[in-house]
């Protein structure tokens, strides 16, 4: 598929998806929703891809839904039929958020600038977030009389805690990069010029790891907050049995004994 609102590049096991509407601060329209969903599906289906990096072109990460005339966000806002609004959201931003969340491979958001509204949630849904000193976050929905509509009410409390999430949602205040790191929204803050270099170094380190074990770890992490300990341990035992019988485990042990770097093949 040829993309117009995003770019999709793949190298050394890393797929980089770049939101590419810098003139609109990478705001999301219907075409971008569709292209992002397709890129996520392509990354999921491609065995060569081990890590996905999501970032934005220009000075913003993503300014949220495009509310310009004729754009997807504007069409939803002027809709008066509640069922039609729900259908648009399910088929648009919700389908994208769930696709990213359910991606079996690790995801890293390289937040280069403002992440607002649904753009904030695109960052939150990623497993790891690296931000430049220019990164800033705003829930934004209440500033135009809306609820958090793209998953922030679910993701944000799991990252910053319920009380801080309530403050950020109710006030629609910006969270600057230093505070975002303090509250766990960002794993780390790096100089703007080093953002992609640092992000790609992290992605490369993960991509060289054992794909089977990392994917199973991701699945367990996603369920950790909604499962009891017995269920979590049962899941761990099942997944460990898969890993112990894999070629990757044999390679890892051999590399450890031979004092060399392991070469994991996902088998």
The DSSP H or E segment spanning 53 is strand 51-56
Residue 215 domain flag: yes
Digit-by-digit pLDDT tens for the chain (267 residues) are 689 999 999 999 999 999 999 999 999 999 999 999 999 999 999 999 999 999 999 999 999 988 776 555 555 566 678 888 878 877 788 899 999 999 999 999 999 999 999 999 999 999 999 999 999 999 999 988 998 889 999 999 999 999 999 999 999 999 999 999 999 999 999 999 999 999 999 999 999 999 999 999 999 999 998 899 999 999 999 999 999 999 999 999 999 999 999 999 989
Domain containing residue 194: CATH number:
3.90.226.10
The pLDDT of residue 89 is 77
Q: Give the total number of structural domains in the chain.
A: 2
The pLDDT of residue 104 is 96
Residue 143 domain flag: yes
End-of-domain residue from the set 207, 230, 246: 207
Mark whether 179 and 216 lie in a shared domain. no
Mark whether 91 and 128 lie in a shared domain. yes
Burial of 79 (0-12, 13-18, 19+ CB in 10 A): middle
Residue 263 domain flag: no
Domain span at residue 18 reads 6-207
CB-based contacts of 1, cutoff 8 Å, min separation 6: 35, 38, 42
Domain containing residue 231: CATH number:
1.10.12.10
In this prediction the pTM is 0.92
């Amino acid at each position: 598929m040829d993309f117009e609102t995003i770019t999709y590049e793949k190298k050394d096991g890393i797929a980089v998806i770049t939101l590419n509407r810098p003139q609109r601060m990478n705001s999301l329209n219907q075409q971008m929703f569709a292209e992002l969903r397709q890129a996520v599906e392509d990354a999921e289906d491609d065995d060569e891809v081990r890590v996905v990096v999501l970032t934005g072109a220009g000075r913003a990460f993503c300014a949220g839904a495009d509310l310009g005339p004729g754009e997807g966000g504007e069409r939803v806002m002027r809709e008066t039929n509640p069922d039609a609004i729900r259908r648009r959201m399910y088929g648009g931003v919700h389908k994208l958020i769930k696709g990213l969340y359910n991606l079996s491979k690790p995801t890293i958001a390289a937040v280069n600038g403002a992440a607002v509204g649904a753009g904030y949630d695109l960052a939150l849904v990623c497993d790891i977030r690296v931000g430049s000193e220019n990164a800033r976050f705003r829930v934004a929905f209440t500033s135009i009389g809306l609820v958090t509509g793209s998953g922030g009410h679910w993701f944000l409390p799991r990252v910053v805690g319920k009380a801080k999430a309530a403050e950020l949602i109710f006030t629609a205040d910006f969270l600057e990069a230093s505070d975002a790191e303090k509250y766990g929204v960002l794993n780390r803050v790096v100089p703007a010029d080093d953002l992609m270099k640092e992000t790609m170094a992290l992605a490369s380190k993960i991509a060289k790891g054992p794909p089977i074990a990392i994917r199973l770890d991701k699945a367990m992490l996603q369920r950790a907050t909604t499962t009891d300990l017995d269920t979590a341990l049962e899941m761990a035992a099942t997944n460990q049995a898969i890993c112990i019988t894999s070629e990757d485990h044999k390679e890892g042990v051999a590399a450890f004994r031979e004092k060399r770097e392991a070469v994991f093949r996902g088998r």
